[in-house]
């Protein structure tokens, strides 16, 4: 058996881990995957040539490079389908609940930042749902669901971006900065909880957990909405909310593009 180490510079949250798992799930040569998200490393235990694995990872556009390949006698352990399903259901429910909350409060508080962040939560929900279908599912079913989810997510991102442009041009009511901050802090806590649940069995060292929290895209986005809320109050302007909303919609569209890559 061989151990191949990949550096994946754009792998910075658990939802991208699930994308990689789904991409490689049909490789009979792959025996086990070890993810080191804080250091952007992936260890693949496999038989045969690593080139087909490398080619598959490249299609996800996560900036993958092959660092090394060596023979190993390591004994690898794989998770059972049951444990995978329970974990994925947990993080899926957390993300979906906060998608609903952020969307609801985003509309009521007139905040595009919260609406955009809710779609980012929805993007993660879709990835975990795809992973659930992929556990024991057929390739055709996975591909069809991935296509629908990807195009649906792109549609939402485009609608959101058009709304941001409309608000830049027109005169809109100021967003409620208090609601922005409170809801974003709660979403931040939810994302940290998901990170902990997904990674607690892979690395129990405190510095690794802290590193993951501070390097996650989701956490950065939540923090951006919080900062935008503060700036809305400080500058008495809706522009910070619109700017963060536009940025997050771009992130959501990028995530949708990666989901579509799974269907190819």
Q: Kindly report, residue by residue over 120-135, the tens digit of the pLDDT.
A: 888 778 777 777 766 5
Report the range out of 27-31, 167-171, 191-195, 198-202 with the highest average pLDDT: 27-31
Q: Kindly report, residue by residue over 154-171, the tens digit of the pLDDT.
A: 888 888 888 888 888 877
Q: Which of 14, 252, 220 is nearest to 128 (CA)?
A: 14
The CATH architecture of the domain made up of 2-71 is 2-Layer Sandwich (3.30)
Q: Which of 23, 126, 38, 136 is nearest to 84 (CA)?
A: 136
Answer yes or no: are the C-beta atoms of 114 and 225 closer than 8 Å. yes
* Domain residue extents for the chain: 2-71, 80-263
Q: Which of 226, 115, 245, 140 is nearest to 177 (CA)?
A: 226
Report, as an integer, the average pLDDT of 18-29.
83
Q: Kindly report, residue by residue over 38-60, the tens digit of the pLDDT.
A: 788 999 999 889 999 999 999 88
211 pLDDT above the threshold of 70: no
pTM of the model: 0.67
Domains 2-71 and 80-263 share a fold: no
Q: Does the domain made of 80-263 have the CATH classification 1.20.1510?
A: yes
Q: pLDDT value at position 173? A: 75
**Locus of tokens 């629908």:** 148
Q: pLDDT value at position 101? A: 93
Report, as an integer, the average pLDDT of 92-119.
90
């Amino acid at each position: 058996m061989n151990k191949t180490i990949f550096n994946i510079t754009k792998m910075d949250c658990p939802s991208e881990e699930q994308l990689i798992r789904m991409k490689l799930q049909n490789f009979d040569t792959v025996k086990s995957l070890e993810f080191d998200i804080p250091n952007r490393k992936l260890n693949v235990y496999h038989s045969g040539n690593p080139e087909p694995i490398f080619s598959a990872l490249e299609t996800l556009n996560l900036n993958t490079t092959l660092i090394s390949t060596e023979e190993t006698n390591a004994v690898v352990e794989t998770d059972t389908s049951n444990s995978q399903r329970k974990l994925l259901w947990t993080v899926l429910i957390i993300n979906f609940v906060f998608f609903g909350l952020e969307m609801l409060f985003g509309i009521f508080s007139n905040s595009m930042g919260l609406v955009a962040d809710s779609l980012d939560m929805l993007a993660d929900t879709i990835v975990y749902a795809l992973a659930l279908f992929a556990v024991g599912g057929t390739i055709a079913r996975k591909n069809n669901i991935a296509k629908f989810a990807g195009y649906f997510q792109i549609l939402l991102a485009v609608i959101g971006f058009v709304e941001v442009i409309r608000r830049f041009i027109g005169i809109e009511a100021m967003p409620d900065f208090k609601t922005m901050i409170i809801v974003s802090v709660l979403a931040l806590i939810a994302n940290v909880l998901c990170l902990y649940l997904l990674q607690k069995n892979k690395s129990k060292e405190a510095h690794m957990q802290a590193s993951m929290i501070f390097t996650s895209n989701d956490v950065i986005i939540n923090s951006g909405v919080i900062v935008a809320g503060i700036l809305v109050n400080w500058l008495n302007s809706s522009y910070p909310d619109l700017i963060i909303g536009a940025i997050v919609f771009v992130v959501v569209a990028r995530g949708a593009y990666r989901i579509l890559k799974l269907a190819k």
